[in-house]
Structure 1
Amino acid sequence: MKKYAYIGCIGFLGIITTEFGVIGILPQIADYYNITIDKAGYLLSAFALVIALTGPFMTLLSSRFDRKKIMFTTLCIFLITGVVSSFSPPFWVLIFVRILPAFLQPVYIATALSVAVSKGNKTNENELMSIVFSGVAIAMLTTVPFATYLASKLSWEYSFMVQAFVSFLALCFIHFGLPNLPVKTRKSFGSQIQILKRPTFIISTAMNFFMISAWFSMYSYFAEYLTKAKNMDSTMVSYMLFIFGAIGVLANYLSGKMLNFNIVITTLFFLAGTILIPLLLHFSGGDTAVTIAVIALWGFLYSPSFLNASTYMISSAPDAMEFANSLATSFGNLGVTFGTTIGGFVIVKYGVEYTPWLTLVFGALAIAMIGLRWKVEQVNRATIYEPVRCE
């Protein structure tokens, strides 16, 4: 039954529209408040940092409440954020209302995934998860570029109006489409926290962190990079975001299918983009046609990153899925914060054209973590199956 997965996807669409909707309008916000681009980036990095620091604890605390009520409450807060932000409040207020929904964002994702797979079976769990995560790609295809386009033609406040509308739409689907979903079997906090002792889970967490840091050291400044390094105007940037998102929808679908066959190979396949894309962007130079082709490939290889990271981490702790996923969300967002912060620092010190090289460095570290986990698993298997010698 895929109905619950699709409803979770729509809610995810509202969440991602709010979290990443600012990416295309950061230069306009910086101009409006007369601040540097790295300070405007706090709207993204502060949001992600709150998720990183509070996500697992909030997920554990909310694990005993009705899942529908959790999802509904989360989207209510996202709706309020969009409405308040659209009135262009002082920058400190804008930051404050931005971080409020961040406390419940990982709770929503963990709950939506749990609800989606609860009506499926083991053979299609990854596919159901990919449906929920496709909300990321759909946002990149529709609401994020549309909000950017609207901001380029009118003003940046309209971008937040789009975010508020999408959150309201998601609220309606959750309210009318989901029944009450009380938790029937409650896992103890202790049994879930045990996964933190597993070396393979810790290594998987590091892989997640480095992979998301890699992508967001460049993607957070998507508009700034294309404007300064590739000489595109804000309208053209909105078109690039549309292409980026359109390819991403296909990528999420394919990734969900591929994960059912092999999680490690699928993760490595898309992670290879962190090495390939920086090189292609460098050699594309000022050729607009080639740059567009590279952006399309970038969207394809980037879009399933959160799905792949969560699936890779959960594969090392399938007995504590919700808690493992909340940690995946937290460390992924810690990667967003770290990548955005380091990317902003590099832009201020050296220039936006250097941010792709950060992606390459962090991507190489993520690939190294996959190799390290494989090595640890090989050692564990050898230990388990080592024959007992008789004296």
Structure 2
Amino acid sequence: MKKTAYIGCLGMIGIISTEFGIIGILPQLAAHYAITIDKAGVLLSAFALVIALTGPFMTLLSSGFDRRKIMLLAISLFLITGIVSSLSPPFWLLMVVRVLPAFLQPVYIATAIAAAVEKGEKQHENQLMGIVMGGIAIAMVTTVPIATYLAGIFSWQASFVVQAVVSGIALLGILKALPPMPVREKKSYGSQLQILKKPTFLLSVAMNFFMIAAWFSTYSYFAEYLGKEKQMDTGMISIMLFLFGVMGVISNGVAGKMLGWSIPGTTAIFLLGTLAVPMALQYSGGGTTGIIIIVAFWGFMYAPCFLNASAYMISAAPDALEFANSLATSFGNLGVAVGTAVGGWIIAEYSTGLIPWAGMGFGILSLLMIGTRSLLEQRAVRLQQVTI
């Protein structure tokens, strides 16, 4: 059902605007609250850590509830976050309202994807999932750079106003366009937890974690890196975020089609960006044209990471779609938290210019997980052939 998928995508734009819209204003927040950039980065990593620690449990607990109600509740929390954050609260309150919607973010994503693919044909599953997850790329090309641009013209509070407006539109979209979606057949907790016994699924979890950590060890400090290492001002950084997002929209569509060809192959191809981008950034110099090309390539290779992670994990657990999706979101956000923390530590202890190399290290580990899972699956096929 494409209509349901597009509504899910709209909500995803609101969610990503809140989670990642803060990336472009971290330097301003650090200055306003008189804290270091790595401490400001906790606003991103804490959000991700809450998702990582609670996502699977929240998804299991909510698996029997009407999907429309779950989506409405989740987006309502994101709306509240945007409103309160725009009022310049004390740092502790900003942190509290930041992490509250994180409890329901993986629930929303898993629910929206399950609702989208429920009535669709099997061969269109990845495309429907791609529509929902496409909200990530769309947010990168619209709300995230717009929020950063307005923050540069007015103040960082404007970024949160944008987030609140987007969440409000998503809330209205769900209210007006989606009918009630009760769960007709609730799977037992035990049947869903069985996937945790599968080595191939656990390797997929590890791949997801390392892949997202690879990208976010640098991307979390996108504004800081371009400002310090490439001497770009806020206006130019917002343009770079826009370019990053445009390439992401394109690559998300490309990845959705490629996944139908080969899920592990597609995931590995886009992972190669974690090896190429650090080298390109290191040796690009300060020329604007070179940086534009690198940022375009960076956005193209980065954008499908969440879609690829979900597809890769679901392919190892097709009978527990929602739970597998929630684990993909949780471990992906654990990767966001760890990648952001590692990047912040490198900036604090060494230099901003070194953070892309941490991404390369995580990327290599992720590729090793894909290779190991492929070997296990090939061995299982051979054993099955011998048995027959």
Q: TM-score, normalised by structure 1?
A: 0.99
Q: 1:64 corresponds to which residue?
A: 64
Partner of 2:114: 114
Residue identity opposite 2:101 in structure 1:
P
Shift of residue 249, structure 1, vs aligned partner: 0.3
Structure 2 residue aligned with 1:263: 263
Matched residue, 2:283: 283
Aligned-partner residue type, residue 87 of structure 1 = L
Kindly report which structure 2 residues correspond to 1:1-391, keeping only aligned pairs within 5 A, or say none.
1-387=1-387
1:201-229 deviation line (CA, Å, top 9, x unaligned): 00000000000000000000000000000
SS in 2 for 1:328: helix
Equivalent pairs, count? 388
Seq. identity, %: 63
Partner Cα distance (1:351, 1:279) in 2: 16
Query: Which secondary structure state, in structure 2, belongs to the residue aligned with residue 386 of structure 1?
Result: helix
Letter of the 2:249 counterpart? V
Instruction: Give the whole-Å Cα distance in 1 for the aligned partners of 2:133 and 2:267.
Output: 15
Residue deviations 1:234-292, cap 9 Å, x none? 11000000000011000001110111111111111111100001111111011111011
Please give the secondary structure, in 1, of the residue aligned with 2:382.
helix
Partners of 1:250 and 1:85 in 2: CA distance: 32
Distance 1:164 1:286 in 2: 36
Write the deviation string for residues 83-113 of structure 1: whole angstroms up to 9, x where unpaired.
Answer: 0000010001000000000000000000000
Q: Secondary structure at the match of 2:179?
A: coil
1:328 partner amino acid: A
2:341 partner letter: T
Q: One-letter code of the match for 1:247?
A: M
Q: State the AA in 2 paired with 1:74.
A: A
CA distance in 2, matches of 1:288, 1:369: 36
CA–CA separation in structure 2 for the residues paired with 1:282 and 1:342: 18
Tell me by how many angstroms 1:119 deviates: 2.2
Unmatched runs of 5 consecutive residues or more in structure 2: none
Cα deviation, residue 387, structure 1: 4.3
Secondary structure of 1:181's aligned partner = coil
Structure 1 segments (4+ residues) deviating >4 Å? none
CA distance in 2, matches of 1:266, 1:383: 26
Q: In structure 2, what is the Cα distance between the partners aligned to 1:214 and 1:147?
A: 25
What is the TM-score when the length of structure 2 is the normalising length? 0.99
Aligned equivalents of 2:77 and 2:378: distance in 1?
45
Secondary structure of the corresponding residue to residue 386 of structure 2: coil
For residues 331-380 of structure 1, the C-alpha deviation after alignment (integer angstroms, 9 at most, x for no partner) is 00000000000000000111110000001110000000000001111111
2: distance between equivalents of 1:37 and 1:90?
17
Aligned-CA RMSD value: 0.7
Unaligned runs of 5+ in 1: none
